[in-house]
Structure 1
Amino acid sequence: MDAIILDPCCGGRSFWFDQADQRALFGDIRSEEHTLCDGRAFNITPDLNMDFRAMPFPNESFRLVVFDPPHLRRAGSESWLRAKYGILGDDWRDDLRRGFAECFRVLKPEGILIFKWAEVQIPVSQILALTDSKPLFGHKYGRRNGTHWIAFMREAA
């Protein structure tokens, strides 16, 4: 494996400056093509179809993991929000708890996890309670902007 960065919920790779960055492996459970209401194409084309709750990598495989899981509990079945971001199931707490655990498992010691959360339906405080790892830094409050970027570091071996 040549990639040193893992994005296990890449979606449409929207926040990447280079959506084909060779240092990264882009994964997602979905492979889909959509036409948005304004006619633009929105495609989810991961390098590898995978489930962030059970990733197919050995322990300590990546130096950096970017974890941007679905953040919606409710969205119309044909809405562009659901198409773009996906939706959490009824077991969302367990799913995200398992996702955090997997992200830390595949990180090398002292590797970095960048976590992205859009606080539109579930407060980020409820999400951070799903991992024992303590954040280093990031947005503590979403009053002006509901999107949080939070950095973690895996403990040394």
Structure 2
Amino acid sequence: MTAATKILDPCCGSRMFWFDKDDQRTLFGDIRDEQHVLCDGRALNVEPNVIMDFRSLPFEDGAFKLVVFDPPHLTRAGRDSWLRAKYGILTSDWRDDLSKGFAECFRVLATDGVLIFKWNETQVKVSEILALTDQRPLFGHKSGKREKTHWITFMKRGE
């Protein structure tokens, strides 16, 4: 991490929504480092700068101005499915995992820093997820054909 690094994406996956997938201000992390060929022949590469677990981030308190938290949102997916390859999968302890993930993301976020949270509620409702943190969102937006993907913005409150 350099002094220019101000953004953390601890679940970067294949960096699907990033315009600049190599943004120099961003540290891209993930628990996975793997390559896949999708059914249509496209490559799907999960290649983080640093292997990390969002439940236990290896950074000092307040180290980032912006955190992008896009954890896996699936509780079920076929072992070799493209959905699992693309998004990852939650463990059976997903409530505890995501609660720890929120706590860690807010811990490494500077006071008044911004957390962008992305969640697809196909299998788990966003209301169940927001109940896992005591931080309250400022605003959000639904997207996608069925409006199942939520983009939610938080600003970390001071202690």
* TM-score in terms of structure 2 length: 0.95
What does the per-residue CA deviation read over 1:6-39, in whole Å, with 9 as the maximum and x for residues that have no partner? 0000000000000000010000000000000001
The two structures, once aligned, show a CA RMSD in angstroms of 1.5
* SS class of match (1:126): helix
Identity of aligned residues (%): 67
**Which of 53, 57, 60 in structure 2 is aligned with 1:58?**
60
The answer to whether the 8 Å contact 2:143/2:149 transfers is no
What are the residue-to-residue correspondences of 1:37-116 with 2, within 5 Å?
Answer: 37-116=39-118
Write out per-residue CA displacement over residues 106-131 of structure 1, whole angstroms, 9 at most, x where no aligned residue: 00010000000011100000000000
Structure 2 equivalent of residue 154 of structure 1: 156
Does structure 2 retain, via aligned residues, the 8 Å contact 1:67–1:114? yes
Q: Which runs of 5+ in 2 are unaligned?
A: none
Q: Is the 8 A contact 2:142 2:148 kept in 1?
A: no
In the TM superposition, residue 143 of structure 1 has moved relative to its aligned partner by 8.8
Q: Which runs of 4+ in 1 moved over 6 A?
A: 140-143
Measured at CA, do residues 141 and 38 of structure 1 come closer, stay the same or move farther in structure 2, by a change above 3 Å?
closer
Partner SS for 2:96: helix
Deviation at 1:43, TM superposition (A): 0.3
CA distance in structure 1 between the partners assigned to 2:37 and 2:86 by the alignment: 11
Gaps of 5+ in 1: none
**Contact residue 30 and residue 50 of structure 2 kept, 8 A:** yes
Contact 1:4–1:64 (CA<8 Å) still a contact in 2?
A: yes
State the 1:145 CA deviation. 1.2
Tell me if the contact between 1:138 and 1:150 (Cα under 8 Å) persists in the aligned partners. Answer: yes
Give the TM-score, by structure 1 length.
0.96
